[in-house]
Amino acid sequence: MIEMAVKCIALDMDRTTLNAQGKLSKENREALLYAIKKGVHVCIASGRAFSALPEDVVSLPGIEYAITCNGAEVYDVPRKKCLQRFCLPGESVKAIMKVTENDPVTYEAFIRGQAYAGTEYVKDPVRFGATKQAVEYVQHTRKMEDDIRAFILTHSSELSSMDIIVKDEEKKAEVWALLEESVKDIYITSSIQQLIEISGKNSGKHNGLKFLADLLCISLQETAAFGDADNDVEMLEIAGIGIAVANGSEKALAAADMITSHHDINGVAEGIYKIL
C-alpha cells in the first residue's frame, strides 16, 4: 500500500471505471461514494463528449468535474458549464481532412459537448471496426450527419476534437504518421484500436488534470488517476499516483505506479480502497 494524501481522483470511464456492459458496478459505485464522503474530489477523465458521459457516474452526488474530449474541454458537472475549452485550429482541421480525403476512413466531430458522426457509421459501427458492445453507445450518443466530411469542413473552427475511424491497423499507423508530419498544432492519441483521436495542442487528459489541480488549489502529488489506454498514459505519469487496470494497454501498464484488477472485476474499487 502507498501512503499519501489523495485529494483528487481522476477516473477514465470506458474499460476502466465502467464494466464490459458500459455500466458502473455496485462495487465501483460504493467506492466512488466512499471517496466522496471522505472529502476527495472524484472527477471524470474521458475521451467522450460531455453529452455522452455515462449517466451512472454523472448522476452520482458529489461528482463535480469532468475532463472530456481527451482534455479539450473541462466541465463543472452539476452546472453543465464548460470551464475550459481548446478548439482545434480551423486550418489544422482542413489539413486533416485533406490528408485523409482519399483514405477508407470516416470521422466523428465533437462540438460544445456534442458528438456527431456519419450516418453510415452510426447505423452500422461494427462495419467500421467498432465492437458489438459499442453499438448501443455509438447509436445513442451521436447525432447523425449524412455527409460528415462536409459537416466538419463547415464547422472547422468549432471542433473541440475529432476522431478518425480507421478499421485497418496498418492504415491507422500510416495516417497517424502523415498527420504528425504535416499538420501543426494538434495533439494525437488513441483509446481503442480503430480510433485516431485529435484535439488542439494544449489538450490531453494530463493538462485537464493540471487545470483541475490548480482550480482546487492542490498539487499534482495530491492527485490519483485511473486509466487503461494510451490516451491515459500522460495522466497516469503526472498524477501523484497513476493506477492502471489489469486489462490496460502495454503503455498504460508501463506508466502506472500501481496495477489493480481488471475493469470488469471492480479494479477501480480495489484501487480506491488501497490508496485511501
| pLDDT tens sequence for the chain (276 residues) | 445 599 999 999 999 999 999 999 999 999 999 999 999 999 999 999 999 999 999 999 999 999 999 999 999 999 999 999 999 999 999 999 999 999 999 999 999 999 999 999 999 999 998 888 889 999 999 999 999 999 999 999 999 999 999 999 999 999 999 999 999 999 999 999 999 999 999 999 999 999 999 999 999 999 999 999 999 999 999 999 999 999 999 999 999 999 999 999 999 999 999 999
Element (H, E) at 117: strand 114-118
How many angstroms from the chain centroid is the CA of residue 197? 9
**All structural domains of the chain:** 8-85+204-275 (3.40.50.1000), 90-200 (3.30.1240.10)
Q: Provide the pLDDT for residue 2.
A: 45
CA angle centred on 18, ends 192 and 7, rounded to 5°:
105
Q: Provide the pLDDT for residue 1.
A: 43
For residues 116 and 109, the answer to whether their CB atoms sit within 8 Å is yes
Residue 261 CA: distances (Å) to CA of 4, 11, 35, 152, 162: 21, 15, 18, 39, 31
CA distance 223 to 191: 22
Q: Provide the pLDDT for residue 4.
A: 58
Q: Which of 141, 155, 148 is nearest to 120 (CA)?
A: 148
CA angle centred on 110, ends 81 and 229, rounded to 5°:
95
